[in-house]
Amino acid sequence: MKIRIPLTPDPVWPDVIKITIEENQEPLVPVSLAPAPLQVYPAYYKMGIPNSVPECHVRTGVYQRLLQAAQALPAGISLLLLDSWRPYAVQQYLYDTLYDALETRLPNKTATELEQMTREFVSLPSTRVDAPSPHLTGGSVDVTLVDRHGLMLDMGTQFDEASVWSHTHAYEEIAAPDARETEVINNRRLLYSVMTLAGFTNLPSEWWHFDFGNQLWAWYSGAERAVYGATQLDSLENRWRREVEKYSVD
């Protein structure tokens, strides 16, 4: 079933970050081991973004819902995960890069205006316990669809394209879509449908961005609280330290 994409308001960030987080301690898990039709392509690592990681990690609850969404797709179509949990340094790089590009192109804009424009596509970098950036929680995912040949379906814009046409609802506003626009509408509706039916919410300014468990998900789903705060990948050093701490001391 393809759901017509509704016109949804942008998040009111001062209110979003007021939502209580009751961390449930779900670990981050790698998605590259997932069975088809769920595939992984760590886009930022492939692009050479500094400090990006060569794997896509999500919370276990997100992993289960990604599988559910992928399995709901028609035969021959796969769900492709492009980005999920990301280090703070990557969040800062993305924010600064877009902000600088806008500042160069629009020198008459104020700092406040530039920040607002930047936050349309990149969340403010934050490791605050009560207000982490969504992607730092392991609850945000950037996804698209690919065909049986591994080619991405036409979604109207590229992933991470800073354009008004990247807004999830944008193509729904076209009164008489042509053949290509109709294809885009159907592709976006398919992605939106399987993701929302699996329990995700969508960020209205990005057709590719979906959330579960974090403050942004709580804001759009009406949940009383979020269950994912900022998290980190577990390191071998940390695991060894925990094991060593269990040793008895003579």
Residues with active-site annotation: 206
Q: Provide the residue count of the chain.
A: 250
Beta bridge partners of 152: 146
Who contacts 131 (Cβ-Cβ below 8 Å, separation ≥6)? 17, 215
Burial of 1 (0-12, 13-18, 19+ CB in 10 A): exposed
For residue 220, how far is the Cα from the chain centroid? Answer: 14
Tell how strand 140-146 and strand 78-83 pair up: antiparallel
Alpha-carbon distance of 54 to 43, in angstroms, equals 9
169 annotated as a binding-site residue: no
Who contacts 210 (Cβ-Cβ below 8 Å, separation ≥6)? 140, 141, 142, 143, 195, 196, 200, 201, 202, 203
DSSP for 205-232 reads: T-TTEEESSSHHHHHHHT-SSBS-----
57 annotated as a binding-site residue: no
Token pair recorded at residue 73 = 């797709």
209 annotated as a binding-site residue: yes
- Known binding residues are 135, 142, 209
